[in-house]
Amino acid sequence: MKKEIIFTPEQMNTFTNIPFDVPANTRELRILFSYDPHWLEKDDFSAGLVKAKLDEFTDGFIGERKLPESVRRKWESYRQRPEVFLPLRNQLKFSLYGPKGEFRGRWDSPQYFNEWVTIGPVSSRGFFSQFLPEGQWTAEIETHGVFSPEVVASIEIETVQSQRKKRWYAGELHSHTNHSDGDYDLVTVVNHAHNIGLDFMVLTDHNTTSALADIKSDLPIKVIRGLELSSYFGHLVVSGISHYIDWRVQSNKDTLDSVLDEVDKQGALATIAHPFVPGPPICCGCEWEYTNANISRIDAMEIWSGPWEGAKTLHNWRALLWWDELLNQGHRITGVAARDVHNKERFYNPNSANTYVLASSLETGELLDGIKQGRVFLSSGPQLELEAACGKGVYAMGDTIPCSNDSKVELTVGVTEAEEPLVLQVVADGEVVHESKVESLAGKETVTLARPQRWLRVQYVRETLRDQFVLIGNPIYFVTG
């Protein structure tokens, strides 16, 4: 993308937003920004601008009686020589903001004039080294000085795609250490996570970030900085934080906008934790009791919290049904699993699930973006393979399919690494529209069905206990093409 803008002196001290799209799997941004003229000529026009300012500036202090006479005389000598302050320089700069409005860095003209800057894993000075989430970004041009009758600014933006192939990474999104109410230090928790084959985990102690200092580069798996905001009216897990977020909310009628503003500012991800665990006196603050929370700003929700067995069966089923309801309302919330780790036993329960995220690396930003985009399935063991076709395109979880209301959707779906007989269920707009026994635990089957109005997903239950899940996929969405 390349864009030219003409600025005049009337536009000095204003902001001009240049939106641009960053596609999925972008590895690097390259931006070339310049403007002409950079410097003004040393002529009568420039001298006149300087003289007018010097006169105005002098009027502001000339009556100050305590100012020494020698200082007055020295200043007056400068005032009579406007050429001392020449040449004048037009001054345009820009700041870069991500899709949530989060600050990503700033261009300052003396060091980068007519030079390409890069933003990515390694960034030019003034910009943060970072993952680049897809969405609409903004380059905001700042007009600090426009002195020429016209200044022509040019901004050119290129995106460089990653060449790395994406894969599924297994993670635990909710874990505690003895910095809050967990049994162990971080190293012990990480070793157990590594022992069960996890690639990453999120450290989410209750209302404290003191354990984040224990995250070291030599740990055997990736550890993401997080925090569980444990309020009186519900718990919100925040992943990918840079610093502490205040959890203190005074009422269950709060919209949570101020908290979510800070989450967005830090480029983090907000997940509702165990929404249907009973509250006090059974579990103080655990039940989600917010009646006015701005759900449209929530990224994810735990629909598989702890093991899918015992009392947790009811908790998880209620979360699953609420998730379906929110999806039908148009909210694109990613369903995730979480053991809510406090002790080693929670790692080893066979009815608990990993959250599998599709990403091209273990960079925090890539993992969180995969979760936000719904490139996620939850499983206690089996691995999911899923494609959907409608018309010419082929789509995966998290995608939006453009096809007409009377179209047919063809799913190609299968599981591997399953150790027991399973039943496939296809859920569309909250209703099971297909159910079939899995004949092969290493093959795929094709399911053809009418196009849903809003979304569909797949899930697998035990053949012998059909209220107990072994795998839940996230939705594929539909719009009329």
Q: Are residues 435 and 350 located together in one domain of the fold?
A: no
State yes or no: pLDDT of 209 exceeds 80.
Answer: yes
166 lies in some domain: no
With the CA atoms of 446, 450, 455 and 460 taken in that order, what torsion angle do they form, in degrees rounded to the nearest 10? -40
- pLDDT on residue 439: 74
DSSP string across 174-243 = EE--TTTT-SS-HHHHHHHHHHTT-SEEEE--BT--GGGGG--TTSSSEEEEEEEEEETTEEEEEES-SS
For strand 167-175 and strand 200-203, is the pairing parallel, antiparallel, or unpaired?
parallel
Q: How confident is residue 62, by pLDDT bands cut at 50, 70 and 90?
A: low
Q: Domain containing 65: what range?
A: 44-85
Q: Bridge partners of 30?
A: 118, 158
- Answer with the one of 139, 161, 183 that is the final residue of a domain: 161
Q: Are residues 28 and 177 located together in one domain of the fold?
A: no
Total number of domains in the chain: 4
Q: Which residue has the higher pLDDT, 205 or 49?
A: 205
With the CA atoms of 128, 133, 135 and 139 taken in that order, what torsion angle do they form, in degrees rounded to the nearest 10? 10
Q: Are residues 348 and 426 located together in one domain of the fold?
A: no
Q: What is the pTM of this model?
A: 0.84
Q: Are residues 253 and 344 located together in one domain of the fold?
A: yes
DSSP string across 253-276 = T---HHHHHHHHHTT-EEEE--TT
Cα torsion 87, 88, 90, 95: sign:
positive
State pLDDT tens for residues 292-305. Answer: 999 999 999 999 99
Cα torsion 255, 258, 264, 269: sign:
negative
- Please write down the HEC assignment for all residues of 54-70: HHHHHHCCCCCCCCCHH
Q: Are residues 330 and 434 located together in one domain of the fold?
A: no
- Classified as helix, coil or strand, 455 is strand
DSSP assigned state of 292: S
State pLDDT tens for residues 264-279. Answer: 999 999 999 999 999 9
- Answer with the one of 324, 347, 380 that is the final residue of a domain: 380
At 121, the amino acid letter reads P
CATH number at residue 475: 2.60.40.10
State yes or no: pLDDT of 59 exceeds 80.
Answer: no
For strand 431-437 and strand 422-428, is the pairing parallel, antiparallel, or unpaired?
antiparallel
